[in-house]
Amino acid sequence: MTRPSERHHGHEHPHDHPTGLKGLVLGLLRPHSHDSADSIDAALESSAAGIRALKVSLLVLLATALAQAAVVWTSGSTALLADTVHNVSDALTAVPLWIAFLLGRRAASRRYTYGYDRAEDLAGVFIVLMIALSAVLAGYESVRRLLDPQPLSHVGLVIAAGLIGAVGNEVVAVYRIRIGRRIGSAALVADGLHARTDGLTSLAVVVGALGVLAGFPLADPLVGLAITVAILVVLRGAATDVWRRLMDAVDPEVVDAAEAGIRATPGVLDVERLRLRWTGHRLRAEAAVTVDPALSVVAGHDIAVEVHHRLLHDVPQLVDATVHVGPAGHERDPHHRLAHHAPGHPG
């Protein structure tokens, strides 16, 4: 097995890339490189983009929650209280993600040989717990107000606060989702979808307040219960996403694209094994391919270099790939196919 370097002397990469004026412009705006070091640099830049997104969204959500809390204090709205609690919890989820992005930028060590990217996945667990906590608090307060109804005052302010919550959360949602998808952070995308759902529940607060104006005072706590159900729906989706990341799940389409790129590499006869795993918002790959047994070691290494290059080219967010080259028709111990090989060791 080898982890080839893109700086291998005398090796060309005959991929089709834009040429002429278009190629020059794209080269200036988006330099083309598939060196592992360059991929890691891009991953560090994506971490910085994620941190910026968290800073901005944290400020927006805190401002939104403070505005809503002031109205809760004067109006006594249960639905608005439930929405405010959820907005505060959503804002606080930015803190563990922020810490995780910072940890992910630390270099690997002798103990943490893959680095600290998994901190982002652990932050996802915290996000799930915070969503669950907000559901419990919102549900409890709604049931309490149903059993002991309280008058709702300043209905106009409640409606205004609900609209503020909807706008603030949608701004945060759009920003988090856009950045999360660009850098490949499932946790950031999930947090953005969480904010979008918060915006919808803020609109539900408006509906509850309108119900009170229409002469149905129980509309406010009932909407609070509806918000609790919406939070539980978000909780289910977030928990599923976090579970899949912790279990190294990868979209089959990504695996198909990686395998197609490997099979298209000249000299590759078959793909014996292909594994992809997320660590935070970065992908890593392990591949075992077979080649003509008559090839020299140098020729086999050149094929490994090209496979490495294609994987970095075809798979977004991939920062590293380890490639094992073996002779076709060689009988292997079936357990050998599942073994992890250290870079540079023969298979």
Residue 13 tokens read as: 């990469």
Residue 16 forms part of a structural domain: no
CATH number of 259's domain: 3.30.70.1350
Structural domains counted in the chain: 2
Residue 182 forms part of a structural domain: yes
Return d(Cα 253, Cα 247) in angstroms, integer: 17
Query: What pLDDT does 176 receive?
Result: 86
Q: Are residues 199 and 307 in the same domain?
A: no
Q: Are residues 217 and 239 in the same domain?
A: yes
Domain containing residue 323? 250-338
Contact 307, 271 (CB under 8 A): no
Residue 20 forms part of a structural domain: no
pLDDT (tens, 9 = 90+) of the chain, 347 residues, equals 444 443 333 334 444 444 444 443 333 333 333 344 444 444 445 667 777 788 887 788 778 778 777 777 766 666 667 667 767 766 777 788 888 888 888 888 999 988 888 888 888 888 788 778 878 877 887 788 788 776 666 777 778 878 888 888 888 888 888 888 887 777 788 778 777 777 777 777 777 778 877 778 787 778 778 878 888 888 888 888 888 888 989 989 999 999 999 999 999 999 999 999 988 878 899 999 999 999 999 999 999 999 999 999 888 888 889 999 999 886 554 444 433 333 443 33
Residue 28 forms part of a structural domain: no
**pTM (two decimals):** 0.67
Q: Are residues 262 and 232 in the same domain?
A: no
Residue 3 forms part of a structural domain: no
Residue 326 forms part of a structural domain: yes
The dihedrals phi and psi of 175, each to the nearest 5 degrees, come to: -65, -50
Domain ends where: 186, 214, 246? Answer: 246
Residue 224 forms part of a structural domain: yes
Domain ends where: 246, 274, 290? Answer: 246
Query: What pLDDT does 306 receive?
Result: 94
Q: What Cα–Cα distance (Å) separates residue 110 from each residue in 100, 107, 114, 215, 246?
A: 20, 10, 9, 67, 22
CATH number of 121's domain: 1.20.1510.10
Q: What Cα–Cα distance (Å) separates residue 25 from each residue in 42, 45, 318?
A: 19, 21, 24
